[in-house]
Structures are given as C-alpha cells and as structure tokens.
C-alpha cells in the first residue's frame, strides 16, 4: 500500500515524527503476533527438538520467559537508544518501496507530489541512494554527450559527402560502381577542384588589385605631401627675410605708436616757447616759411585756447604731414593731402563742379596713393574726409557727429574720384560697391566746446595718415595746441 507522508508544506521534523509513529505501530503488531504464536503453539512431539510450555520443565519455562523479556528490552532499547533522525533514516531504507517522499528544493522545503512530477525536475531520491544516483546521473549525461558528438560527426560527414557528391563513409553502397559511375565521380571531383581553383585565383587577383590600389593611394599621398612640404619650405625660405623685416618694422612702429599714445610732454622749455609764439596776435613777424605759406605770429595766435584755427595754420600743418609720410622710416600709408580750399572749390556756389579742381592733380597721381585726405570747411566748422583707395571706401570724421552732412560730402567725393579716373586714366571707376563710412558721435572722439573743431580735424588727418587709432580726447586739445605751435616753428612733426 502506497502512503504519502509529509505532503504539502510539512517540515522535516513532522515527517520524522510520522515515520517514528508508523514504526512503533509496526513493532507493536509484531509483539502481538509473537504472543499469539506462543499461546497457540501446538504441543511438541517426542521427536521434536522443541517442547511446549505445559510439558516443559520449570527451568525451560523460565528460560523462555527470559528470552521474551530480553527481546522486549532489546526493542525498547532500540527505541530509546537511537536518535529520531538516525532511526528514521534506517527505517526509510527499509520502506522506500512502500512510501513516496517529496524531493528537497534549494530552500530545503518539501514540495507536493504534483510539483515533483513536473517535467524538468529531479525526483526525490532516498538519503542512502544519493551518491549512487549522482554517479548514475553523471554516467547518463556523459553517454548522452557522446551520442550527441557522434551524431554531430555523422552530420558533418554527410554534409561533406553531399558537397563533394561522394558516397558517405558511414553508408557504403553495396552495389558495385560501374565504370561510368567511377568516371562521372572522378570528373565531378575534377570539376569541383577546377571550380575551387578558379575561385581561389579570382579571390587572389581581387585581393592583389585591392592591395595594389591601396599602396598606390598611399604612395601618391606620400609623394604629394613631400612635394607640398618642399614647395612650402621654398616659399618660406624665399619670403622669410621679408616677413622678419616687416615684423621688425611693425614692432618698431608699435613702439612709436605706444609712445605717441602716451603723448610725451613737451617739457618746460618747449611749453614756454609755445606760449610765447601764440601770445602776440597783432605781430606781423614771420616765424617760418614753407609750402608757399609765410607763417606769422598773428597766424599762430589762433593756437591759443578758445581760438578757431585759420586756413594758414591747418594747411601748413598738413604740409608737414606730407613731408613726414614721404620721409618716414617706418611703414606708413602713402597719402596725399588737399588744402582747405579744395572742397570749397569743388562745391562752389552749392553745386558740384569738377572743372574747378581738375588741374589740382596735374603733378600728382592720386591712384598711386593709399589715402587721399581732405580737410572740409563747412562755414563755421572743420571736419575731415578720406578717400581710402586701399580699402575701397569713403570716410568722414566729424567731432560733432554730423552724420547727414557727412553723407553728402562723401557723395561729392565719390563723383570727384570717378571723374578724376576718367579724366586722368581714361577709365571708368566703379565705386558702387565702396563703403560709405560715417561714424556716429559715440565711435570717434568728440569735442566738448565750440572752438576746438580745427584741432580735432588736424589730429584726425595726422592719426589716419599713420593708421593709428583715434585715441585722443577733449582734454588733450590744450597739449596739441602747444605742440602744433612748436612743430610749425621747427617745421617738422615730432615723433
């Protein structure tokens, strides 16, 4: 009879208790059977080796009772001597065939019989048979692995035989091959070998062509790089001295510019000389003559503070700028300066007239210059305009921010340079794409009074002719007035 003990979530201890109770009931049934056997034992025959209790002697009866008692004591001793776990294990080995126990899981809990019978799960094995079961399982796995390997080898052999149209080694043909079959098989082998040889040759050729293209590309790249390096090296060696010279000149010019930006003081002696030169407005004494102008003390008197500059002082100072540009030791733009009367003559009576100034450039080629600087007199205000031939643009600088007036001045100068090119070069100069640069009052220095516009115009011309930033301001005008007086007297512009 099959029994299920410990089914469900029963613990190990509960199973052991049930097994122990079952064993005790079995032992009690054995004792009852023995007692019944003793009571119903038939009387012994004279020839029998055994004697009954009625016919036996008292000694014999006592011996029998002692044996029975010893048997009871031994069974009780077994019950009390063994621990429950050890007794359960011993009994389990005896009743394995009659009792189905659930297997153990990883968390040492029992599962029910339905879970034990699910596919893929290892069935429960008795404790005594665990090692033998593991060994048999390993043997099964090794045998299965060998079978799989043999099947795999057999499949590979069949595939190879199918590829080469040959008979498999495992399944040799019992029928003898005819000469035609042998010839066909050999011919098929030759064709297969030839096909493989052709495929190999084609692959080899393609690989060779690819390697050749890659090597050719690398060779061309290396050769091109070497040629470019050689060309660059030659150009550098050719132009390096010139570059070094230009860099040196640039450094010197920057140093000079820095010194000029600092506006080196004239010194006490020069300052006293300047004050003396401008302090006699009624004197007709000629201080110096140049550029067709006799500079008198009365003309220099306009360099006093709060005085407006006149045409003689501005034209004389611009003449000094021309000499400085022609004799400069540092690279400066090639500039031509018109006098203060040029623009007035160009727009005489309020209308543009090129004929009035046509002969002003009879000895000068304006198109060989970088800049043409023109002082502009607008009745009671001085400004400065530039025809920048180098950068292809027209520029207008006003210390009072006259933007609209500047646009009109530049339109007149645009017409002038076109007419000049047509008259002197017999060419049409297209200035439609030239820039009209008219900065506002926030982009260039501005005067803060009504009498320094002439000094601002002269300094605009001075700084622009040397490509310097317009770094001066209103507070520098007193210094520039004294410096201009000394420069006019010495007939040179200080560095």
Q: Which pLDDT value is given to residue 321?
A: 92
What's the rounded Cα separation, in Å, for the pair 13 and 214? 80
Rg (Cα) of the chain, in Å, rounded? 64
What pLDDT is recorded for position 127?
Answer: 45
Domain boundaries, the chain: 12-41+52-128, 179-262, 266-490
pLDDT at res. 385: 96
Q: Can you give the pLDDT at residue 174?
A: 60
The four Cα atoms 364, 368, 373, 378 give a dihedral, to 10 degrees, of 60
Catalytic residue among 398, 458, 462, 486: 398
CA 191 to chain centre: 57
The pLDDT of residue 68 is 59
Q: Is 37 a catalytic residue?
A: no
Asked if 398 is an active-site residue, the reply is: yes
The string of DSSP codes covering 245-261 is HHHHHHHHHHHHHHHHH
Q: Is residue 40 pLDDT above 70, yes or no?
A: no
Q: What is the pLDDT of residue 341?
A: 94
Report the range of poorest mean pLDDT among 235-244, 324-333, 431-440.
235-244
Contact 355, 425 (CB under 8 A): no
Active site residue: 302, 321, 335, 453, which one? 453
Quote the pLDDT of residue 275.
Answer: 86
What the block records as the tokens of 193 is: 């070998």
| Res. 125: pLDDT tops 70 | no
Band (15; pLDDT cuts 50, 70, 90): low
Mean pLDDT of all residues belonging to the chain:
75
CA 50 to CA 65: how far, in whole Å? Answer: 15
Can you tell me whether residue 96 is helix, strand or coil?
coil
The per-residue pLDDT for 6 is: 41
Which of the residue ranges 19-33, 44-58, 182-196, 252-266 would you say has the lowest mean pLDDT?
44-58
The gap from C-alpha 148 to its chain's centroid, in whole angstroms, comes to 53
Residue 289 scores a pLDDT above 80: yes
Gap between the Cα atoms of 434 and 436, Å rounded = 7
pLDDT score at 57: 54
**Per-residue pLDDT reduced to its tens digit, 138-177:** 776 777 777 778 777 777 776 676 555 544 444 555 667 7
pLDDT average, residue stretch 426-436: 92
Instruction: Give pLDDT, residue 140.
Output: 66
**pLDDT, average across residues 456-485:** 92
Pick the CATH number of 266-490 from 3.20.20.150, 3.20.20.220, 3.40.395.10, 1.10.3720.10: 3.40.395.10
For residue 211, the model assigns a pLDDT of: 82
Across 245-401, the runs of DSSP E, i.e. the strands, are 286-290, 293-296, 335-337, 371-377, 382-388, 393-397
Tens of pLDDT, residues 207-248: 878 888 888 888 888 888 888 888 877 776 676 676 676 777
Catalytic option among 381, 421, 451, 467: 381
- Token look-up 């506002």 returns 440
C-alpha separations of 215 from 201, 210, 228, 367 in Å: 21, 9, 20, 56
Long-range contacts of residues 113-116, Cβ cutoff 8 Å, at least 24 apart = 113/4, 113/7
Q: Looking at the predicted structure, is the pLDDT value of residue 479 above 80? A: yes
What confidence score (pLDDT) does residue 151 get?
73
Q: pLDDT band for position 279 (50/70/90)? A: confident
Q: Is the pLDDT of residue 25 over 70?
A: no
Active site residue 170: no
> What does the pLDDT average to over 69-75?
54
Residue 309, exposed/middle/buried by CB under 10 A (0-12, 13-18, 19+)? buried
Q: Is the pLDDT of residue 299 over 80?
A: yes
Distance CA 79, CA 93 (A): 17
Q: What pLDDT, on the 0 to 100 scale, is given for residue 108?
A: 44
Q: Are strands 286-290 and 293-296 parallel, antiparallel or unpaired?
A: antiparallel
- Written as six digits, the tokens of 41 are 């034992």
């Amino acid at each position: 009879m099959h029994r299920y003990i410990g089914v469900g979530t029963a613990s190990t201890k509960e199973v052991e208790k049930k097994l122990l109770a079952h064993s005790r009931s079995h032992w009690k049934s054995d004792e009852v059977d023995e007692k019944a056997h003793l009571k119903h034992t038939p009387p012994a025959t004279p020839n029998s080796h055994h004697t009954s209790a009625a016919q036996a002697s008292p000694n014999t009866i006592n011996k029998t009772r002692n044996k029975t008692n010893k048997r009871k004591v031994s069974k009780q001793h077994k019950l009390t001597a063994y621990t429950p776990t050890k007794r359960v294990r011993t009994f389990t080995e005896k009743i394995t065939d009659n009792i189905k126990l659930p297997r153990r899981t990883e968390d040492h809990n029992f599962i029910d019989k339905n879970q034990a019978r699910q596919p893929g799960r290892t069935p429960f094995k008795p404790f005594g048979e665990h090692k033998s079961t593991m060994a048999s399982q390993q043997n099964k796995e090794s045998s299965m692995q060998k079978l799989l390997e043999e099947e795999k080898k057999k499949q590979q052999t069949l595939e190879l035989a199918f590829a080469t149209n040959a008979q498999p080694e495992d399944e040799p043909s019992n029928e003898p091959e005819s000469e035609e079959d042998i010839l066909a098989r050999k011919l098929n082998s030759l064709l297969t070998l030839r096909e493989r040889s052709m495929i190999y040759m084609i692959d080899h050729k393609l690989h060779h062509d690819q390697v050749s293209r890659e090597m050719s590309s690398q060779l061309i790249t290396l050769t091109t790089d070497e040629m470019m390096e050689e060309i660059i090296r030659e150009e550098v060696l050719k132009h390096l001295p010139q570059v070094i010279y230009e860099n040196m000149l640039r450094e010197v010019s920057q140093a000079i510019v820095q010194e000029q930006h600092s506006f080196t003081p004239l010194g006490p002696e020069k300052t006293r000389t300047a004050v003396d030169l401008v302090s006699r407005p009624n004197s007709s004494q000629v201080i110096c003559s140049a550029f067709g102008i006799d500079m008198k003390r009365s003309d220099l008197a306009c360099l006093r503070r709060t005085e407006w500059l006149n045409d003689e002082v501005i034209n004389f100072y611009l003449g000094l700028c021309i000499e400085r540009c022609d004799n400069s030791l540092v690279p400066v733009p090639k500039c031509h300066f018109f006098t203060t009367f040029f623009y007035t003559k160009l727009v005489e009576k309020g209308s543009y007239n090129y004929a009035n100034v046509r002969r002003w450039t009879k000895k000068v080629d304006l198109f060989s210059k970088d800049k043409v600087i023109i002082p502009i007199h607008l009745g009671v205000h001085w400004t400065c305009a530039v025809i920048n031939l180098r950068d292809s643009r027209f520029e207008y600088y006003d210390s009072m921010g006259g933007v609209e007036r500047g646009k009109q001045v530049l339109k007149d100068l645009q017409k002038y340079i076109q007419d000049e090119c047509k008259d002197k070069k017999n060419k049409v100069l297209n200035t439609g794409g030239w820039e009209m640069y008219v900065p506002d009052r926030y982009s260039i220095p501005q005067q803060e009074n009504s009498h320094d516009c002439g000094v601002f115009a002269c300094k605009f011309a001075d700084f622009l002719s040397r490509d310097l930033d317009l770094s001066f301001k209103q507070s520098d005008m007193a210094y520039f007035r004294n410096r201009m007086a000394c420069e006019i007297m010495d007939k040179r512009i200080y560095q």
